[in-house]
Structure 1
Amino acid sequence: MELAVYDCQYGTLGLYLAGMIEKGSPKRILIDKIEVGQTMCGIAGIINFTGNEDKQDLLTRMVALMHHRGPDASGVYMHGPVGLGHARLSIIDLSSAGNQPLHNEDKTVWIVFNGEIFNYPELRNELEAKGHRFYSQTDTEVLVHLYEEKGTDMFPLLNGQFALAIWDANTQSVLLARDRVGIRPLFYHHQNGRTLFASEIKALLVDPSVPRQLDPVALSDVFTCWTPLRELTPFTNIYQMLPGHWARIDSGGLHVQSFWSPDFAHEDDGERSLADWVEELRSLLLDASRIRLRADVPVGAYLSGGIDSTYISSLVKRNFNNRLSTFSVSFSDTRFDESSYQSIAVRSLKTDHQDVRCTEADIGALFPKIIWHTETPIIRTAPAPLYMLSRLVRQSNFRVVLTGEGADEIFAGYNIFKEDKIRRFWARQPESKERPKLLERLYPYIFSGTNVRSRQFLEGFFKKDLLATDSPVYSHLLRWHNTSQLKTFLADSFRPTDNSLDSFVGRFCEKLPNDFMRWSTVSRAQFTEISIFLSNYLLSSQGDRMAMANSIEGRFPYLDHRVIEFACRVPKRFRIHGLDEKFLLKQAARKMIPDELVDRAKQPYRAPISRCFFGDVRLEYVEEMLSEKQIRAKGYFNADKVGRLVAKCRNRQGSLLSERENMALVAILSTQLLDQQFVRGFPAYEAEDVPSPVVYD
């Protein structure tokens, strides 16, 4: 039996949820059209092998709470132990034939899919040659037939960014999977033979049986490396599917398997010329950009003024789209502003460019909404300007943007990689007074103008764990040690049993590749950064979640798996040449983009912090969340220590706060908001009028 409400552009689901439409009633009801934005997709599902349950109402509410991810259409499929839900963006095949869930010819295999498979036309041709028949033009349907051919061996064949669920009625099992580097999110709760999964945690929390409580270990991780480690999320018994993994769920339980991981074991140490490496990289990035322009809607690009985004925009402008539209964010605070470099890029590329200016007041006003979308505590305000940037893209009637994310991780662009190199050099002569001076080249703004006593303090800071060069994570020990000082604000009653940095390092190291210590030191540092920071923070809190909040899809040419696998083979001397980071990428970009952008000093993307919350305008939510009453009531933090920090913020408006105190303020405030929105006051933002699903029973 098929039930459908086909007016997917009109808001009827809100009436359904309010009880104004009888469940299962196949009515067509027209009400005023609403502004819903257009985006990628959100998926959800219920798998219950232990007994019968009515899945339609819960699935509908799960999908409704993710309407920002895909408001063009929605659908629900239920059969036996399984219910699948989907909220759709129309980017490829804008017709209703592309609505999900989709199925194979005899309807024994069903799929819900969030993402894009960029090589789907080539895969489709191969499948049609083998006799498979298609009823849509989507990449999603390609996955159904590829699964029939290959099973779990399908994943190495995919070039894309995805999270998916496939129900196979023949094997009575569900297959969950996530792309290689975790561009698209996928969360699940598994207990007593019953599994819920969704693109966002909030959809899981719709089910009252899912615990709504914060995990002390995960929170301790955030206060160490900015994010929960590996599969943990901030919420107890809610996990993320790891990047490059799949899971099979059947009556026997849940089995997880890896299908890909960055592998630096085959670094080239031969005599291949720099010119050869440059030529191969240019060719790969050109093709990675080309296939990411596949869409039935316009594609724009983010333009930060750095080498990464400017090079991608240049490739597109020169080869594929002479009227490329680009978007950037600038700051009223000159310490963070890169608009002068953005202007250089725009003048060179001659793109149709738009800019949004971000103030401290903007960040303060937006912050509660930012936490609603990140679903995790954060220790920087950097996601907020990116939310404003994606909102600008949406307001400009674009759905898809290319970005330069990932280049720093795979081509060794961060100071942490150069810092590792300097500290190892220093460790060979730990009493040297000359070797630590190399740090001035990394942090001239810290060392400049400092007196003798200050220099001694800074050298002492960087000398921490200097001789621990045998540690698998030597490159990150200093950062983690510094950030973990934030845990001193945690209440004694909320700290995990073992709150030490050694415990955190041990949990990370126990899952490292067997040959990890045979890799070059820069490769080890890159793997650590990719597996923690890239997937769990950068592509999440600053990537998918900020774009999806405004119904925008980001695409990442540097994270094409062919580019990553190429970068893993690049000799370390072409990644960091002396102390010149991203050396190979700079050589590839030179003569394609202005020299001022290739040769500019690295400026990490950052945003203002404490003054956003204690500025000229009083923010009631800040006063409430950081009040002694609320700190004690929620129980996560030491109220006395928080009180002293807040008093310092009020009295000086952040002008004399240290970097660590700024991070602590954001971490505490975001945790308090997370509790307010998801633990005690859920849902903080109700799904209103969104499309009614097409329901298959």
Structure 2
Amino acid sequence: MCGICGYISLKDNHNLDNHAINNMVNTMHHRGPDEDGYYKNNYVNFGMRRLIIIDKENGSQPIISKNNETVIIMNGEIFNYKELRNMLITNHNSKFRTNSDTEVLLEMYKNYGTQAIKYLDGMFSFAIYDSKKDLIWIARDRFGIKPLYYYYDDKQLIFGSTIDSIIESKKIKAKINNTSVQLYLLLSYVPSPLSIYNNIYKLLPGHEIFIKNKKIKIQKYWDINEYIDIKKDTDVNNKFENLLNSSVLKHSVSDQPVGTFLSGGLDSSVITKKYKSLNHNNFNSYTADFDNKKHDDSVFAKIVANKLDIKHHNYKINSNDFLPIIDELMEYIDEPVYDSAMVPSYILSKQAKDDNLKVLLAGNGADEILGGYKRHYNQFPDFLKGSCSSISEDVLNYLSKMKLLSFHKLLQLKYKFIGYAITFSGINLESYKILTKNCNFYTLEKQLSNYFSNNDNKNISNLKKLMIRDLKTYLVDNGLSILDKTTMATSIEGRVPYLDHKLVEYLISLDDSVYLSNNYKNSKSLLRNLAKKNNLKEITQRNKIGFNHPLNGVIDNNHNLNKIKKTILSAKHILNEFINYDQINIILDNYKKENNENIMNLYILATWVNNKCYQ
């Protein structure tokens, strides 16, 4: 919907320059090209950019209460706002000046205070200033669909939908965080709550910030672990479909055209089918066709589109286009994050923008809530990870030279959480150790232990434990982050119907035997059954194929390899602190496919440094 930012002074006579909040807002023009808005006093500065989705004429922000005591800015959507609006009118005789969801949230706060957040179905980050109570309330949605970053010290708190907006306040000095770089090079993203810079943090999903009497308090208001149970339900298939139908209906609320990502896989096909079933007779769907990809998504996407009789767009992405597209996208990326799926997500969002769409429905979250990744079922390899923790790296290195196992695989036996991380990042650990200065796997393992195992619940199966782990980590920092950045780069709002909190809470409350399989081949049976019921049988027989661009042909040609070398070299003035530059050419000149992900995430980091880094 937009981008928001703000500056809160915690000391008298410590405020923003008159033009600073305007400059902060202007960094987010791509997130909201339609309007801007501001609220300023000696204590609080709010700003926003608006992408008009709902109530074009009257939905401008900030919205100020009729008594001028309370003001709100919001990024995202409250999908049940019409229901809440009716509740407020019936129970509290509320009067509204607009038809926007933002005003509904402001009125909810008036009547329910900060407990209002429990009533919200949506994806959001917002800030409310209550001058009468001297209270500022900042919050992020339950799953982290919409971003929110913040910085604070004893003088100020600064927040924004992007890191760029915070730095543009000119109140802090940006310094790259060494730990963040090392973790990024391992994960291909910076794990929450860290950001790429010192002292700028991501507000965790389901968390809120309170500033009262200029004192800051950060707390959790929602946690999926609270809904874990072992309920038996004999009507799971129907309840799942009803909850998904309700979610797709809510996610379809828009005064602007809505389309869908349609990869031809199970997740996006079901969402597209359900959206069609809501009597949307003519809408746009989008898929990407990659060269060098063994399994062609476009074939299955076309099958689904033809069955549904919708306007389908297939965009061909050539390997020679991959790096130029990355370079173009980096203008909108505020911190390094890499997944080859970001290329099709960005390109298809651009196409949708050209077709005058403002909203795209996506299938993110289905794998995390239904057990859709192979790593969820690899119990024996998972058991082995960390089994050799007492053996030194020197011994492991010696064993690797005896050709028993590669050093890369032996390191996974020593470090459990590092081993888990590379199941999705694809990083080669031996090359990582060579490339990364001051590499200390023991320290990294400890950091990843806090990141991953903090989300564990010992009273559930390993399968559900890994699903929840991914829901709280990988999905937030990879899937949802990339969806937000790539869609908003083109002024498109990406929505994720599988992450309706009532749907997720219901599934997590069930006993595994009711809806989960004990093997990957039969995974996501609830969704497969639903697809069959909805005349999508062909899709249920597909093996899972990620919506990613194959790197074969991208790196292993001289033109692209030279470009990668030059880009990484040009970032040396910054990255030399973190990267062993004397090893880069060795790895690039002796190209091996196993280093593809290391090379690409380093290219992303270097491109970000060359184009976006404030240090």
How many corresponding residue pairs? 596
Match of 2:433 among 465, 488, 491: 488
Report the counterpart of residue 257 of structure 2 in structure 1: 298
Q: Which has the higher contact order (CA 8 A, sep 6+)?
A: 1
Question: In the alignment, is the contact (CA less than 8 A) between 1:73 and 1:88 conserved in 2?
Answer: yes
Match of 1:657 among 593, 605, 613: 593
Aligned: 1:403 with 2:343 = no
Distance 1:456 1:584, change over 3 A: farther
Distance 1:479 1:554, change over 3 A: closer
Report the counterpart of residue 357 of structure 1 in structure 2: 316
| Cα shift at 1:319 | 2.9
Report the counterpart of residue 570 of structure 1 in structure 2: 510
Question: In the alignment, is the contact (CA less than 8 A) between 2:571 and 2:609 conserved in 1?
Answer: no
How many angstroms apart in 1 are the aligned matches of 2:452 and 2:344?
34
Distance 1:534 1:259, change over 3 A: same
Distance 1:213 1:356, change over 3 A: same
How many angstroms apart in 1 are the aligned matches of 2:35 and 2:110?
26
How many angstroms apart in 2 are the aligned matches of 1:527 and 1:221?
21
Unmatched segments (≥5 aa) in structure 1: 1-39, 431-454, 650-655, 682-697
Give the match's secondary structure for 1:263.
helix
Distance 1:251 1:396, change over 3 A: same
| Cα shift at 1:104 | 1.4
Report the counterpart of residue 398 of structure 2 in structure 1: none
Question: In the alignment, is the contact (CA less than 8 A) between 2:375 and 2:423 conserved in 1?
Answer: no
Give the match's secondary structure for 2:224.
coil
Report the counterpart of residue 548 of structure 1 in structure 2: 488
Letter in 1 for 2:204: L
Aligned: 1:239 with 2:201 = yes
Report the counterpart of residue 14 of structure 1 in structure 2: none
Distance 1:380 1:662, change over 3 A: farther
Match of 2:23 among 58, 61, 73: 61
Report the counterpart of residue 532 of structure 1 in structure 2: 473
Report the counterpart of residue 539 of structure 2 in structure 1: 597
Report the counterpart of residue 648 of structure 1 in structure 2: 590
Give the match's secondary structure for 1:285.
helix
| Cα shift at 1:237 | 1.1
Give the match's secondary structure for 1:315.
helix
Distance 1:424 1:388, change over 3 A: closer
Matched ranges for 1:310-349 at <5 A? 310-335=269-294, 337-349=296-308
Matched ranges for 1:280-295 at <5 A? 280-295=239-254
Aligned: 1:194 with 2:156 = yes
Give the match's secondary structure for 1:602.
coil
For residues 120-151 of structure 1, the C-alpha deviation after alignment (integer angstroms, 9 at most, x for no partner) is 01111111230322111100001111111222
Between 239-248 and 615-624, report the one with greater CA deviation: 615-624
For residues 374-421 of structure 1, the C-alpha deviation after alignment (integer angstroms, 9 at most, x for no partner) is 32333433212211010010011110111111101110001111223x
Q: Which has the larger radius of gyration?
A: 1
Report the counterpart of residue 183 of structure 1 in structure 2: 145
Instruction: Give the RMSD, CA atoms, in angstroms.
Output: 3.0
Sequence identity percentage: 26
Aligned: 1:105 with 2:55 = no
Letter in 2 for 1:545: K
Distance 1:464 1:617, change over 3 A: closer
Match of 1:133 among 95, 107, 111: 95
Letter in 2 for 1:488: K
| Cα shift at 1:189 | 1.2
For residues 59-92 of structure 1, the C-alpha deviation after alignment (integer angstroms, 9 at most, x for no partner) is 1111111101111111111022001001111111
Letter in 1 for 2:180: A
Question: In the alignment, is the contact (CA less than 8 A) between 1:186 and 1:198 conserved in 2?
Answer: yes
Report the counterpart of residue 528 of structure 2 in structure 1: 586
Distance 1:476 1:643, change over 3 A: closer
Matched ranges for 1:395-544 at <5 A? 395-420=354-379, 422-423=380-381, 461=409, 464-465=412-413, 484-485=429-430, 487-492=432-437, 500-508=443-451, 511-512=454-455, 516-541=457-482, 543-544=483-484
Distance 1:479 1:304, change over 3 A: closer
For residues 320-341 of structure 1, the C-alpha deviation after alignment (integer angstroms, 9 at most, x for no partner) is 3122321111112233641111
Question: In the alignment, is the contact (CA less than 8 A) between 2:59 and 2:99 conserved in 1?
Answer: yes
Letter in 1 for 2:604: S
How many angstroms apart in 1 are the aligned matches of 2:349 and 2:428?
29
Give the match's secondary structure for 2:88.
helix
How many angstroms apart in 1 are the aligned matches of 2:556 and 2:445?
36
Aligned: 1:90 with 2:26 = no
Distance 1:473 1:160, change over 3 A: farther
Letter in 1 for 2:475: L
How many angstroms apart in 2 are the aligned matches of 1:669 and 1:472?
25
| Cα shift at 1:54 | 4.1
Match of 1:387 among 337, 341, 346: 346
For residues 291-340 of structure 1, the C-alpha deviation after alignment (integer angstroms, 9 at most, x for no partner) is 11111111111111011111111112123312232111111223364111
Give the match's secondary structure for 1:391.
helix
When the two structures are superposed, what TM-score results if normalisation uses the length of structure 2?
A: 0.90
Unmatched segments (≥5 aa) in structure 2: 389-402
How many angstroms apart in 1 are the aligned matches of 2:569 and 2:446?
32
For residues 607-644 of structure 1, the C-alpha deviation after alignment (integer angstroms, 9 at most, x for no partner) is 13374356464688634322388378743210121111
When the two structures are superposed, what TM-score results if normalisation uses the length of structure 1?
A: 0.80
For residues 3-51 of structure 1, the C-alpha deviation after alignment (integer angstroms, 9 at most, x for no partner) is xxxxxxxxxxxxxxxxxxxxxxxxxxxxxxxxxxxxx201011111213
How many angstroms apart in 2 are the aligned matches of 1:578 and 1:366?
37
How many angstroms apart in 2 are the aligned matches of 1:491 and 1:477?
16
Distance 1:606 1:390, change over 3 A: same
How many angstroms apart in 2 are the aligned matches of 1:568 and 1:667?
33
For residues 109-130 of structure 1, the C-alpha deviation after alignment (integer angstroms, 9 at most, x for no partner) is 1011000000001111111230
How many angstroms apart in 2 are the aligned matches of 1:623 and 1:474?
28
Report the counterpart of residue 75 of structure 1 in structure 2: 37
Aligned: 1:667 with 2:601 = yes
Give the match's secondary structure for 1:87.
strand
| Cα shift at 1:490 | 4.5
Aligned: 1:639 with 2:573 = no
